[in-house]
Structure 1
Amino acid sequence: MGKSGIILVGIILILFSGCKSTKEYYTKEGTLRNIADYKLINSTTENYLNYNTLFYKRFKARYEDSNNTLSFTGNLYIEKDSSIVVSVLKGIEWFRVRLTNNSVEILDKRKKTYTSGDYKILWDKFMVELDYHTLQSILTNQLFVYPINSDQKLIKRYKHEVGIGEYLLQSVKTGRFERKYRKEKTNEMIFHQFSIMPDVFKISKVNIKDFNANSELDINYDNFLNINKSIFPSIININGQRGNDSFSIELRFEHIDIDSDSSLGFKFSDKYKKVVISNED
């Protein structure tokens, strides 16, 4: 977490946590106390941002991979559990993207084309399996199951450990991971870990290692703000690697509207050329 994020969280802890919270989660020596897995998961979900729609106005972004570096602005609108619409601006609007539970749709405003397909479009680009729920969770600082699975209740199977000043919630306990990967030399392993800040119970980092695919994804949250009586990150840094390929993207949100009348639509004329991508192997 950056310096500004640490300062803000410290202020919030002083204002909202109080002595009871400190006694509950820390020992007399000041070290982080162990708690039950279910309590960590429930405390984190109870501290989710409460919303029906989110509108990130004029966010700033920087994308980089081995071939390209691009800075741009945009707008992003989330209708909870329904759709995500993104407008990418570079002076003028270049792209508009709509993500739903079943499809990815892309408008290229410069070429006047409409492309549709499933989420393999994003899997190939960002090096890990993605679906609607996973993307929504990443953007809203929420827990999610990996590999992608429609049954999010499987998060209850995750186990936690006590790290240095944070809780570590993970799909595989460190001992089992060491045994399976280090000793048995198996690559049939996926390691998924959340770093969770105590007291405020917000996710500060997500790490996914897929050893079979030789890929890794790091998601870091920073500059937490007090929004609608909840703590919410205004910066998301994502770094991915698969083999020799890598990418990074930084998102900075300065204006976040919750349940406002503003929205972002997805319409195009019949003049757009339609291109359907087939993802069959």
Structure 2
Amino acid sequence: MKKFTKFLPMAFLAMSLSSCLNDEMIEDQKYGMIDLNTKKIIELPAVSAQLLPYSEQAEVIDFLTVNLAAEEVAQEDITVQLGISNSQQIIDNHNKNKPATDPTVTQLPNNFYSFEGTGLTVTIPKGSRSAVVKIRLKSSDLNADFTYGLGFNIVSVDKPGYIISGNFGNRLAIVGAQNQYHGAYTHTYTSSLGNGTNTVNMITLGANAVTLSPGLLGVYSNAVTLNIDPITHKVTVSMTTLLPIATDPSSHYDPATKTFHLKWTSNGGARTFEETFVKK
């Protein structure tokens, strides 16, 4: 199985910790950290968020973890039934309460994914503490302008003696994708600032835009953004410094060779640049 880049924004972490502290069932001492052995809790322990590399091949990813919170590992197989019927409500609640700087989450369309194995029925095996919900999807189906999610809730546990967490009984799993241009490139340039070859990373800014890292020419810190027309493959260069910027109409992206060919000027034509980026 391919390993994907995972991320957990600090805002999500803070939200999870805050939720734990505000769990009414803990406050009412129906369960808590002091009696995990006698009050065995089934929970969805953390916001799950993943950023997937661009791929046109379907891949299976670990999407959500179901956890047993107890002093000991599971002494028997524990089958947990999950549901997604409240997914939109969970997403709406997340969007309403998230920090303003966090992206708005859109429900993952049904035709973008399928559940693997036993789907929404997962089993925490004897001797373990967790089970994983797996889904199959193509990251190329995901629009990099959006952040997608599914809201899960614990419906039931097949054995007595287990408590469904009052606060961690539902959870949002989030997924996004890099665009097809994201990655490392061999960069060759001729410019009024000098000539050279180096490695530059293109970082996803949306479905059809990237920023260069390092910035200008892979040498300077000045931020450079490339906007790609997905139909014509024409490329426009933009910056917030060294203005005004003018992009020559010949600038384009070649999808067959995964190569950018750029010709442009900054400072009203005072500085000239011709660049080629070939994806590694």
Shorter chain as denominator, the TM-score bin is under 0.3
Higher helix share: 1
Question: What TM-score, normalized by structure 1, do the two folds share?
Answer: 0.27
Q: Indicate the structure (1 or 2) with the bigger Cα radius of gyration.
A: 2
Of structures 1 and 2, the one scoring higher in RCO (CA 8 A, sep 6+) is: 1
